[in-house]
């Protein structure tokens, strides 16, 4: 295995996951691309299908339906078996391209837990974009359950995939 060059070490983007309260998780990641490219990759179904599910886990995004407007709904079905998918769905509360999205997120297999409210901020500086995801869970137990499920690992993998995609799109 070769060692990363100085340039690669400087430009490698790290995902930072922080629990900021009993019910809140904040995830940050910088991408080497302008905000409009990162926002497009986050909101266009044909691009979401290329990064949203962790491929190294053998997982695919089978369905990516969305109506990207305030009040519009989305539904992402993913997994290893299209006949038995995992599904996240929700509604868009704010849509302000290319800087901000606010949406609800419901894991349909555990719908009784309630919606997570996700705020995604895309902040551009010098051609790079810092994505900050603030997730407000309905309860402490819901956040602990999400973390116990391996969500953090999956999120890191998918954000690495997004990083690779936006690098291609620049």
CATH (domain of 40): 3.30.530.20
State how far the alpha carbon of 111 is from the alpha carbons of 42, 87, 121, in Å: 24, 10, 26
Give the chain's domain count: 1
Residue 62 structural domain: 6-169
Classify residue 105: in a domain, yes or no.
yes
pLDDT band at 170 (very low <50, low <70, confident <90, very high): confident
Classify residue 34: in a domain, yes or no.
yes
Classify residue 1: in a domain, yes or no.
no
Task: Describe the crossing of helices 140-148 and 151-169 by its angle, rounded to 10 degrees.
Answer: 70
pLDDT band at 11 (very low <50, low <70, confident <90, very high): low
Over pLDDT 70: what percentage of the chain? Answer: 93
pTM of the model: 0.90
For range 70-76, the mean pLDDT: 98
């Amino acid at each position: 295995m070769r060692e990363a060059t100085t340039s690669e070490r400087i430009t490698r983007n790290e995902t930072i996951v922080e629990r900021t309260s009993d019910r809140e998780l904040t995830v940050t990641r910088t991408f080497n691309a302008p905000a409009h490219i990162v926002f497009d990759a986050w909101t266009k179904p044909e691009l979401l299908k290329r990064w949203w599910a962790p491929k190294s886990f053998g997982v695919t995004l089978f369905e990516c339906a969305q109506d990207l407007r305030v009040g519009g709904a989305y539904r992402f079905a993913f997994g290893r078996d299209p006949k038995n998918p995992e599904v996240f769905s929700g509604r868009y509360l704010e849509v302000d391209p290319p800087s901000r999205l606010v949406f609800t997120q419901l894991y349909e297999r555990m719908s009784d837990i309630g919606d997570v409210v996700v705020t995604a901020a895309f902040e551009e500086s010098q051609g790079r974009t810092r994505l900050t995801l603030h997730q407000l869970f309905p309860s402490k137990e819901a956040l602990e359950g999400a973390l116990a499920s391996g969500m953090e690992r999956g999120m890191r993998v998918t954000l690495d995939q997004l990083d690779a995609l936006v690098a291609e799109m620049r």
